[in-house]
Structure 1
Amino acid sequence: MNLILLVFVIVIIWRLNAVLGTGGGTNNKNNDTYGFGLDDRDKNHNKNSHSRGQQTEGGPSRPPLRVVANGETPKTADELTKIRGLDPSFDARLFIENASTAYEIILRCFSEHDRKTLKPLVSAEVYQGFDQVMKSREQEGHTLRTEIISVDRAEIADVELEGSLARITINFEVSLASALTDSAGELLEGGLENINKNNDLWSFERDLKKKTPIWVLVATESV
């Protein structure tokens, strides 16, 4: 079971209800460092993970994230303006940066079977899908290692606002490598030397009238 199957499972479970947070509302005590339900422990774990392409002593550093915060179409730009009208603290650039961090941490948790960190970030339905795949790997004695080399670009692809319910879809362009091995360490699929370019669409929803600035992952798609 590799990352491709993960994407397939997530696409099948359309309108996921993964509980995540946001980066809005700087005076809200419920806010955390990254938003999207991530605290300092998650932040430090992600920074300390030894992924290819991350900055190490004497090694190369990641390229800076290319963030496109403004809408590409009049409709998208207009909807972002309406969102800011309902939530003046909303910052599109910060939202994208926080979503990029959540993207990396969720994939890391799935790869490492870090259920403790993963579970608070997703709904019961989404967790069940992840857990089913992880249990299958455990029963077969397989190990998946995923290295995110870089999130090269993240941009707002679509924005919808129905009443106070906002949905923002982000297009992530990601460079990553994955390897599936058996209990003896023999390679079954992939390989960490094979870097793949992925394009993923993740959609988040939030009721802007709610005081707690929580965004919910409702859909993902690999394009």
Structure 2
Amino acid sequence: MNLILLVFVIVILWRLNAVLGTGGGANNKNNDTYGFGLDDRDKNRNKNSDNRGQKAEPAPARTPLRVVANGETPKTADELTKIRGLDPSFDAGLFIENASTAYEMILRCFSEHDRKTMKPLVSSEVYQGFDQVMKSREQEGHSLRTEIISIDRAEINDVELDGSLARITINFEASLASALTDSAGEVLEGGLEKINNNNDLWSFERDLKKKSPIWVLVATESI
């Protein structure tokens, strides 16, 4: 996905604005700013792999499956009620569904080095973590291709409200296939025929008093 055409970028951002609501950056409480399974593949790219030296093959065609939970539990209900008090239009189920869209988009941006689309969707700390890994791949002539097979579960794990600053953490269970290749297209790690089950916590923040219509990704963690 090469999103260099301005009109395409505008359409993408408009879609995210519509689905995620508003947001503002904040400090990242997690050191693992790109820890959803792909960073480990980069850190260990010099290790032996059963697929090393093979040409990357296209991923088999699969029908994506998404199961989205409402996420309104006794643990989160009070804080979500407070969020609705500041933003009456907030809907937890819709937020989860569209946070899943952001999850897919940011993963694709990381895989395809689409910094322009990614940057407004993540905090500066998260962006720096992604950018560091992308630069490392670029310097070594490596490429990462990621196929998002499905998001099998997405639900609210935690909600924090500090004044008007809201942070919602989503637990994503997703099936992904990734292949790290060299400049000749030979597989160094992973493989698109191998499906990995990822269990991730992604935290999005928004200042509910601001007009910006984006919830910003401020932290990620693999569990």
Q: TM-score, normalised by structure 1?
A: 0.71
Aligned letter for 2:134? M
C-alpha distance in 2 between matches for 1:36 and 1:197: 28
Is the Cα–Cα contact under 8 Å of residues 179 and 187 in structure 1 kept in the other structure?
yes
Partner of 1:172: 172
Instruction: Note the C-alpha offset of 1:211.
Output: 3.0
Q: 1:151 to 1:181 in 2, by over 3 A?
A: same
- Which one of the candidate residues 19, 32, 35 is aligned to 2:20? 35
Letter of the 2:67 counterpart: R
Distance in 1 (CA, whole Å) between partners of 2:114 and 2:179 is: 17
Contiguous gaps of at least 5 residues in structure 2: 1-13, 23-57
Tell me if 1:62 matches 2:64: yes
Identify the range of structure 1 (174-183 vs 204-213) with the bigger mean alpha-carbon deviation: 204-213
Q: How far is the alpha carbon of 1:128 from its aligned partner?
A: 2.5
C-alpha offsets along residues 69-115 of structure 1, whole Å, 9 cap, x if unaligned?
2322x231111112111211001111111111111111111111112
Structure 2 equivalent of residue 214 of structure 1: 214
Please provide the CA RMSD for this pair.
Answer: 2.4
Q: Which amino acid aligns with 2:70?
A: A
Counterpart mapping for 1:56-135 below 5 A = 60-63=62-65, 65-72=66-73, 74-135=74-135
Deviations 1:91-148 (A, max 9, x none): 1111111111111111111111112222222333332222221121111111111111
| Distance change (3 Å), C-alpha of 1:132 and 1:70 | closer
CA distance 1:84–1:107, change in 2 (3 Å): same
CA contact 2:121–2:216 (8 Å) conserved in 1: no
Structure 1 outlier segments of 4+, above 4 Å: none
Q: Matched residue pairs, number?
A: 175
Identify if the C-alpha distance between structure 1 residues 140 and 30 changes in structure 2 by more than 3 Å, giving closer, same or farther: closer
- 2:92 is matched by which residue type in structure 1? A
- Residues 137/164 of structure 1: CA separation in 2 closer, same or farther (3 Å cut): same
Shift of 1:52: 5.3
> Residues 163, 112 of structure 1: CA spacing in aligned structure 2 closer, same or farther, 3 A cutoff?
same
* Residues 1:162 and 2:162 aligned together: yes
Structure number with higher relative contact order (C-alpha < 8 Å, ≥ 6 residues apart): 2
Distance 1:170 1:185, change over 3 A: same
Range moving further from structure 2, 123-132 or 198-207: 123-132
- State how far apart, in whole Å, the 2-side matches of 1:96 and 1:169 are: 10
CA–CA distance in structure 1, aligned partners of residues 141 and 112 of structure 2: 13
Q: Per-residue displacement from partner, 1:7-45 (whole Å, max 9, x unpaired)?
A: xxxxxxxxxxxxxxxxxxxxxx998343368xxxxxxxx
Q: Deviations over 1:34-73 (max 9, x none)?
A: 3368xxxxxxxxxxxxx957xxxxx65322x22122322x
Shift of 1:164: 2.0
Give the secondary-structure state (helix, strand or coil) at the position aligned to 1:167: strand
Gapped runs of 5+ residues in structure 1? 1-28, 38-50, 54-58
1:97 partner SS: helix
Moved more, 205-214 or 79-88: 205-214
Equivalent residue letter for 1:201:
L
In structure 2, distance between residues paired with 1:34 and 1:164: 20
The TM-score, its normalising length taken from structure 2, stands at 0.71
